Chains A and B, each alone.
Chain A
Amino acid sequence: MINQEIKSYFPILNQEINGHPLVYLDSAATSQKPVQVIEALKKYYEFDNSNVHRGVHTLGNRATEHYEGAREKVQKFINADSTEEIVFVRGTTTAINTIAQSYGRANVEEGDEIVITYMEHHSNIIPWQQLAKERGAILKYVELEEDGTISLEQVRAAVTERTKIVSMVYVSNVLGTMNPVKEVAQIAHENGAVLVVDGAQAAPHLKIDVQQLDCDFFAFSGHKMCGPTGIGVMYGKKALLNNMEPVEFGGEMIDFVGLYDSTWKELPWKFEGGTPIIAGAVALGAAIDFLNEIGLNEIEKHEHEMAAYAMNEMQQIKGLDIYGPKDPGKRAGIVTFNLKEVHPHDVATVLDMSGIAVRAGHHCAQPLMKWLDVTATARASFYLYNNEADVDRLVEGLRSAKEYFSDVF
């Protein structure tokens, strides 16, 4: 359940910044970590640390059990069919690059199409740009509707029989828009393409069911969902992963090594060359336990409420523009905005002086900024540890910023 107690699980939130109690509204960049996750990291290094899948000794077995146990937790968390479909990677960026370099290179030919949208994060744009350049393929963008949503008509218009890959964000890191990925998967499949879902902003906030979505790949990062940095997940349907070549070669991922040729391990290990991010995976498992205990449905509901409350309060500030869907039910807990006449960096500095952390800039989404016709925006993003009092502090801070800049002008 989400109540006042939740904040106390996050030690970092209990501090003053520039003389004010910290209000952390930048969880879309990275979330804070509860004691349960910090303890899991500590416990792993204090008691269980060893390399995995090789030792005969007890610690080696223990580390392997914890690491593979974390994989099972991830499998259940996104309802994948089997643990073979769960590949541990560094984060969403690595997952999408791996898909582009492995599946993409093997399946995209000259003249084929890759379809993405205007609301992608750079990590779901550049791997496809590079692939398209390398293969002589065509990169197409799905246009957005005026309210920052995606219509299935536009998707249908963009996806053709020449399309091999459709890649789309589930929840936009700028607009907060929740996209109809299940329906897009269907359109992709009707045209013989696969759907890659960038789930970086979705996995922390809503119940994910990859089988129900019927997406072919799903990528997300641990650090945005209360886990540590440096660990993420590449989910892929088994039939696809089985036919894919690894992109990293070395220890851990081999079956047999000859002088001039080698064979790979079974799934998922053939994609996990080198010593994996063991402690990170174990701590991600702890983050999943933590989120499950609260309940993803509960978290999603809380975020809709936070978005609704924040939008309602912020709209009362004259000269403040909010981007993305007006209906809070259509968005996650992300509110991106601009204050007229005040540059977002200046807004962020004034808020920081009041102890409030927001993001300012292009949010790694330059094509979307171009579409919005702005060079930068400010963004407040909420998570399970935020409450209405945090929003009130933000609104108060924004009013002060406005006042401050109207005074100096």
Chain B
Amino acid sequence: MSFNNLDQLYRQVIMDHYKTPRNKGSLENDNINIEMNNPTCGDRIQLTLQVEEGIVKDAKFDGEGCSISMASASMMTQAVKGKDVETALRLSKTFSDMMLGKEYDDSIDLGDIEALQGVSQFPARIKCATLAWKAMEKGVQNEEKS
């Protein structure tokens, strides 16, 4: 059986991130620690961030979930590391728009993340892809408030 449509979902780069996740584990010098889960399916992510003077100095994630959720977490940590919080949040907004099939800001270089675009064609899986990003948003927003 051929699965051309599935190849839109499970792109090579996604499977690469799933198999060899970047930034897996948890930071020791974190100042932001967020745990988030997807109650409908059991996916779980623990995100640790080190944010100093408005810059995401380091990011790591741990958790359990499907290929999409784990690959997305891996890509997210890679993307936000070294960026300022504002840029990280803008990336997150862009990613969210992309998932929802909306027009998105293409002036930002999404790099590997672009590979997740196919997920938008699988409505049941969008939440898998956005979990790590939601965790990051919540983390930095809590930090900004405090």
Q: Which residues of A contact B (CB under 8 A)?
A: 18, 343-346, 349-350, 352-354, 360-362, 366, 369, 375-376, 396, 400, 404-405, 408-409
CB of B3 within 8 A of CB of A376, answer no
Contact of B68 among A18, A345, A404 (CB under 8 A): A345
Within 1-54 of B, Cβ neighbours of A (below 8 Å) are at 1, 3, 5-6, 9-10, 12, 15, 19, 40-44
Within 88-146 of B, Cβ neighbours of A (below 8 Å) are at 122, 124-125, 128
CB of B5 within 8 A of CB of A362, answer no
* 3 closest Cβ pairs, A-B complex: A345-B66, A343-B66, A361-B41
C-alpha gap A361/B69 in the complex (Å): 14
CB of A345 within 8 A of CB of B64, answer no
Query: Interface centre among B10, B42, B122, B124, by most A CB within 10 Å?
Result: B42
CB of A362 within 8 A of CB of B3, answer no
- A contact residues around B65 at 8 Å (CB): 343, 345, 375
Given A345-B128, A375-B64: A404 and B42 within 8 A (CB)?
no
CB of B42 within 8 A of CB of A361, answer yes
CB A166 to nearest CB in B, in angstroms, measures 28
Closest to A363 in B: B42
Contact of A349 among B6, B12, B44 (CB under 8 A): B6
CB of A18 within 8 A of CB of B5, answer yes
CB A129 to nearest CB in B, in angstroms, measures 16
Q: Which residues of B contact A (CB under 8 A)?
A: 1, 3, 5-6, 9-10, 12, 15, 19, 40-44, 64-68, 122, 124-125, 128
- A contact residues around B19 at 8 Å (CB): 409
CB B55 to nearest CB in A, in angstroms, measures 33
C-alpha gap A361/B65 in the complex (Å): 10
Given contact pairs A350-B6, A361-B42, a sample of 17 additional A-B residue pairs in the complex whose CB atoms are under 8 Å apart: A18-B5, A345-B125, A346-B66, A349-B6, A352-B124, A354-B1, A360-B41, A362-B41, A366-B42, A375-B43, A375-B64, A376-B43, A400-B3, A405-B10, A408-B10, A408-B15, A409-B15
Contact of A346 among B40, B64, B67 (CB under 8 A): B67
CB of B3 within 8 A of CB of A404, answer yes
Given A345-B68, A408-B15, A409-B15: A350 and B3 within 8 A (CB)?
yes
- A contact residues around B15 at 8 Å (CB): 408-409
CB of B3 within 8 A of CB of A408, answer no
- A contact residues around B125 at 8 Å (CB): 345, 349
Closest to B38 in A: A361
Given A408-B10, A408-B15: A369 and B3 within 8 A (CB)?
no
C-alpha gap A375/B43 in the complex (Å): 8
- B contact residues around A405 at 8 Å (CB): 10
Contact of A362 among B6, B9, B42, B128 (CB under 8 A): B42
CB A360 to nearest CB in B, in angstroms, measures 7
CB A263 to nearest CB in B, in angstroms, measures 42
Contact of B41 among A350, A376, A404 (CB under 8 A): A376
18 chain-A/chain-B pairs, Cβ below 8 angstroms: A343-B66, A343-B67, A345-B41, A345-B65, A345-B68, A346-B67, A350-B3, A350-B6, A352-B124, A353-B3, A353-B5, A361-B40, A362-B42, A366-B42, A369-B42, A400-B1, A404-B3, A404-B6
Closest to B19 in A: A409
Given A343-B66, A343-B67, A345-B128: A353 and B6 within 8 A (CB)?
yes
C-alpha gap A366/B39 in the complex (Å): 10
CB A336 to nearest CB in B, in angstroms, measures 13
C-alpha gap A377/B67 in the complex (Å): 14
- B contact residues around A344 at 8 Å (CB): 66
- A contact residues around B41 at 8 Å (CB): 345, 360-362, 376
Closest to A354 in B: B1
- A contact residues around B122 at 8 Å (CB): 349
C-alpha gap A345/B12 in the complex (Å): 18
- A contact residues around B5 at 8 Å (CB): 18, 353
- B contact residues around A354 at 8 Å (CB): 1
CB of B44 within 8 A of CB of A375, answer yes
CB A30 to nearest CB in B, in angstroms, measures 15
Query: Interface centre among A362, A375, A409, by most B CB within 10 Å?
Result: A375
C-alpha gap A392/B38 in the complex (Å): 32
- B contact residues around A376 at 8 Å (CB): 41-43
CB B15 to nearest CB in A, in angstroms, measures 4
